[in-house]
């Protein structure tokens, strides 16, 4: 069924060519668009979050089971923060960051 010409909506020809500059100033967003973080800062935040998860997992492991009875928080922190654990955490964080970046780029 065809509509009569009087009921058809006519759109301006310029719609979609340069739509950003054609709106009234009152319709512009109030907030500026967020910038993407710099790649170095983004990688630093992601690696630090992986380190945090690693150390929180170690801390929870110190207080689980029979070995955690009678231990204090200070003893557990002293036991966890060693050079060996930090090296393992950095290697795991680098591997985790590399895998996350690979899958992020592959899926997007």
Flag whether 15 is in a domain: no
> Where is pLDDT greater, at 92 or 6?
92
Residues 6 or more apart in contact with residue 42 via CB below 8 angstroms: 36
Q: What percent of the chain has pLDDT over 70?
A: 64
**What is the residue range of 99's domain?**
37-108
* pTM for this prediction: 0.58
What would the pLDDT profile of 9-18 be if each residue is shown by its tens digit?
555 555 555 5
d(CA 26, CA 24): 5
Calculate the average pLDDT of the chain: 77
Flag whether 30 is in a domain: no
Flag whether 5 is in a domain: no
| Domains identified in the chain, total number | 1
d(CA 76, CA 78): 5
d(CA 93, CA 105): 18
What was the pLDDT predicted at 107? 86
């Amino acid at each position: 069924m065809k509509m009569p010409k009087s009921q058809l909506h006519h759109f301006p020809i310029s719609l979609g060519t340069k739509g950003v500059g054609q709106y009234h100033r009152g319709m512009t967003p109030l907030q500026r668009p967020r910038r993407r973080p710099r790649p170095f800062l983004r990688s630093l935040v992601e690696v630090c979050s992986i380190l945090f998860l690693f150390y929180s997992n170690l801390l929870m492991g110190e207080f689980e089971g029979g070995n955690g009875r009678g231990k204090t928080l200070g003893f557990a922190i002293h036991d966890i923060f060693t050079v060996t654990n930090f090296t393992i955490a950095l290697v795991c964080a680098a591997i985790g960051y590399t895998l996350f970046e690979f899958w992020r780029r592959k899926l997007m």
